[in-house]
Amino acid sequence: MTTVIIGSGNVAWHMAKAFKQAGIELVQVFGRNEKELHKLSQEVGVAYSTQELTRADFYLICTSDKAIHEVSKLINYENVLVAHTSGSLSREALEGSYRKASFYPLQTFSKARALDYSRLPFFVDAGWEADNILLMNLAKKISNNVAQINHHQRKQMHLSAVFACNFVNHLYARAQQICQHNDIPFDFLLPLIEETADKIKTLSPMEAQTGPAVRNDQNVIEFQESLISNSELLKVYKTLTESIIKMYEL
Ligand SMILES: NC(=O)c1ccc[n+]([C@@H]2O[C@H](COP(=O)([O-])OP(=O)(O)OC[C@H]3O[C@@H](n4cnc5c(N)ncnc54)[C@H](OP(=O)(O)O)[C@@H]3O)[C@@H](O)[C@H]2O)c1
């Protein structure tokens, strides 16, 4: 199936690499950022354009959510399949007389980080059953972890990913600030961070919880609150402590 990837950001970069590695016929990378498109085109050995969209069977729009609607109007071919990679938007965000779908890869993508695509979860959702089968088969060329979910489930999956990835990463950034302010190398926390992520493969997150909040140890909690001078950080500490305590209340 001939494919064009639209965009040159983190997701476009990884999708282009994943498609190429899987032997999917990528015929063009298209977008507005010539410098990044040029780099991507060299990385995957595919032509790029900022002007003219090549005719293909499948267009994967990997632009920011707010640009998807406008960018989708650039595809003037009929009876082609067009999908976006947004976790939140519906297929109806796409405007054009073509077949519409969502093709959502659930991972945190950064250009600087290589990824093993064989376990990458892909969620597909097309307007027609034949297109669901087509996209499932396409994703299965890349990964062993492919499912069809509806828009409601995808929105909730994305929300859950914000908690499991974006918020957790923000807490790493907060932990790093505390270390930096007190001249302690952040690297000392890496074994703890690794074990925290590792142990939920065998224990549920509820079972894996440790720390003063799950023990409702008010002495330690009040002492730690007294150590925090930054008001934003104190809000985060109090909110998460309360959330943990509430989750374990009988
Ligand atoms: N990042 C993730 O981990 C992740 C995971 C799953 C799904 N997604 C979804 O995948 C999509 C892309 O995310 P991303 O992380 O790759 O974003 P990104 O790295 O910020 O890249 C966004 C891309 O969209 C282009 N763009 C922005 N506004 C545009 C416009 N008005 N017209 C044309 N192109 C425009 C940007 O071009 P410029 O370089 O010129 O700005 C860039 O190529 C989003 O829908 C996101 O929700 C992201």
User: Can you say how many angstroms the Cα of residue 191 is from the centroid of all Cα atoms in its chain?
Assistant: 24
> Domain spans of the chain?
3-149, 154-248
User: Can you say how many angstroms the Cα of residue 37 is from the centroid of all Cα atoms in its chain?
Assistant: 21
Fold match between 3-149 and 154-248?
no
User: Can you say how many angstroms the Cα of residue 146 is from the centroid of all Cα atoms in its chain?
Assistant: 15
Q: What is the pLDDT of residue 84?
A: 98
Asked if the model's pLDDT at residue 250 lies above 90, the reply is no
Fold of 154-248: N-(1-d-carboxylethyl)-l-norvaline Dehydrogenase; domain 2 (1.10.1040)
Q: What is the pLDDT of residues 7-21, one digit of tens each?
A: 999 999 999 999 999
What separation in Å is there between the alpha carbon of 80 and the centre of ligand 1?
Answer: 22
Query: How many residues make up the chain in this entry?
Result: 250
Q: What is the pLDDT of residue 167?
A: 98
Count of alpha carbons within 13 angstroms of residue 134, beta-carbon side: 19
> If residue 204 lies in a helix (H) or strand (E), which one and from where to where?
none
Q: Which residue type, as a one-letter code, is found at position 111?
A: K
Residue 152 confidence class, pLDDT cut points 50, 70, 90: very high
Q: Which of the 8 DSSP states describes residue 186?
A: G
Q: Which atom of ligand 1 is nearest to the CA of 65?
A: 45
Q: Which residue type, as a one-letter code, is found at position 137?
A: N
- Rounded to whole angstroms, the Cα distance separating 11 from 17 reads 10
Ligand 1 in reach of 109 Cβ (< 6 A): yes
Ligand 1 in reach of 65 Cβ (< 6 A): yes
Q: What is the pLDDT of residue 124?
A: 98
Enter the tokens of residue 40.
């991507």
- Rounded to whole angstroms, the Cα distance separating 61 from 102 reads 9
Ligand 1 in reach of 41 Cβ (< 6 A): no
Strand residue runs (E) in 14-98: 26-30, 48-49, 58-61, 81-84
What separation in Å is there between the alpha carbon of 174 and the centre of ligand 1?
Answer: 26
Q: What is the pLDDT of residue 68?
A: 98
> If residue 71 lies in a helix (H) or strand (E), which one and from where to where?
helix 65-72
The model's pTM: 0.95
Ligand 1 in reach of 32 Cβ (< 6 A): yes
- Rounded to whole angstroms, the Cα distance separating 140 from 78 reads 26
Q: What is the pLDDT of residue 246?
A: 97
Residue 225 confidence class, pLDDT cut points 50, 70, 90: very high
CATH number among 3.40.50.720, 3.40.50.620, 1.10.510.10, 3.30.420.40, domain 3-149:
3.40.50.720
What separation in Å is there between the alpha carbon of 190 and the centre of ligand 1?
Answer: 30
User: Which residue is closest in CA terms to ligand 1's atom 28?
Assistant: 67
Residues 6+ apart with CB under 8 A from 105: 11, 14, 15, 85, 120, 121, 122, 123
Q: What is the pLDDT of residue 21?
A: 97
User: Which residue is closest in CA terms to ligand 1's atom 48?
Assistant: 11
Phi, psi of 30 (to 5 degrees): -130, 145
Q: What is the pLDDT of residues 110-148, one digit of tens each?
A: 999 999 999 999 999 999 999 999 999 999 999 999 999
Ligand 1 in reach of 9 Cβ (< 6 A): yes
Ligand 1 in reach of 60 Cβ (< 6 A): no
Please, are residues 127 and 91 in contact by the beta-carbon 8 Å criterion? yes
User: Can you say how many angstroms the Cα of residue 98 is from the centroid of all Cα atoms in its chain?
Assistant: 26
Q: What is the pLDDT of residue 59?
A: 98
Q: What is the pLDDT of residues 153-197, one digit of tens each?
A: 999 999 999 999 999 999 999 999 999 999 999 999 999 999 999
Query: Nearest Cα to 61, choosing from 17, 20, 106, 9?
Result: 9
- Angle 218-227/231-248 helices, nearest 10 degrees? 160
Q: What is the pLDDT of residues 59-109, one digit of tens each?
A: 999 999 999 999 999 999 999 999 999 999 999 999 999 999 999 999 999
